[in-house]
Amino acid sequence: MLLAKPFVFMRHGETRLNRQRRIGGRTDVPLTALGEAQARQAATWLARPWSRVATSTLQRAWRTAELAVPGEEAMRIGGLDERDWGRLEEQAFERQTPYEATPPGGESWVCFQSRVLAALNGVLAHDVLPLVVAHSGVFRVIRAQLFGNPDGVRLPNAVPFLIHPGPQGWQVRLYSTQNAFSRSKRGTGSPCTSTVSLKSSSGRTHRP
């Protein structure tokens, strides 16, 4: 179970495999030039001191953090690495198995979910509003904890989201410290821009 504490989550910037619509998994690919530009753009939304910056050990995640929050020391955590998709690594998205199924030669959903939750809870237990920079699959674990299902739209690259519990349950919102600072001058002090829908218009979640 995910600890009921707020945090900011951001997927890494674009990679070659993202652009080609292929499964990245544990393949350690670097950011593209666009991916680096996306990470630098995210710095305008993330300009604040962070209690903790945590990333996976894969370069697309920690490099995104280096560019998005320059000067912050990031903790690289293996538990936040993307899922091992086994023989499906670098294959087209169309060959991807359902998330709850175990890909051939890869990591089961149960094992993946267990290690991601252990890593996230380890960060949440000790830090107030940490920033986590990781992967689409890691967010699917979060989504499954929050809403009971890993399916849904794939997160955009290098866009931060505030994930926080509230009286009406968990919410996922776009995050920007610039909006937080401007709103605080008007007395609201909220860092949230808009709530993100995790379902299609029909009410059913869908895969990317």
The set of residues, in sequence order, having a beta carbon less than 8 Å from that of 124 and lying 6+ positions away, is: 2, 3, 5, 7, 130
pLDDT exceeding 90 applies to what percent of the chain? 82
Q: Model confidence over 96-154: pLDDT tens digits?
A: 999 999 999 999 999 999 999 999 999 999 999 999 999 999 999 999 999 999 999 99
Please, which pLDDT band fits residue 207 given cuts at 50, 70 and 90? very low
Segment 156-183 mean pLDDT: 82
Residue 71 is labelled as binding a ligand: no
Residue 60 labelled as part of a binding site: yes
**7-195 placed in CATH 3.40.50.1240:** yes
The whole model's pTM is what? Answer: 0.86
How far apart, in Å, are the Cα atoms of 120 and each of 1, 116, 169, 187? 10, 6, 19, 32
Q: What DSSP designation does 86 have?
A: G
Residue 178: predicted pLDDT: 54
Provide the pLDDT for residue 188.
34
The structure tokens listed for 150 are 């890993």
Mean pLDDT (whole number) for 49-77: 97
Summarize the confidence of residues 174-186 as an average pLDDT: 54
For residue 145, the surrounding DSSP H or E stretch is helix 136-147
Mean pLDDT for all residues in the chain: 88
Specify the pLDDT at position 187: 35
82 carries an active-site annotation: yes
Mean pLDDT is lowest, of 63-67, 155-159, 194-198, for 194-198
- Asked whether residue 194 carries a pLDDT value surpassing 90, the answer given is no
Among 12, 36, 66, 164, the active-site one is 12
Spans of all domains in the chain: 7-195
Q: In a 3-state reduction of DSSP, which class is residue 162?
A: strand
Residue 9's CB is within 10 A of a number of other CB atoms, namely 21
- Among all chains, which residue has been given the structure tokens 């707020």? 6
In eight-state DSSP terms, residue 103 is P
Q: Is 15 labelled as part of a ligand binding site? A: yes
> What is the rounded average pLDDT of the residues 33-51?
96
With 90 as the cut, is the pLDDT of residue 184 above it?
no
Q: What is the pLDDT of residue 176?
A: 78
Asked if residue 17 belongs to a known ligand binding site, the reply is yes
pLDDT at 181 (0 to 100): 38
Check whether 126 is labelled as a binding-site residue: no
**Does the annotation place 18 within a ligand binding site?**
yes
143 is in an annotated binding site: no
Residue 156 predicted with pLDDT over 50:
yes
Of 36, 66, 82, 107, catalytic: 82
For position 11, what pLDDT does the model report? 98
Q: What is the average per-residue pLDDT within 33-44? A: 97
Average pLDDT over residues 65-81: 97
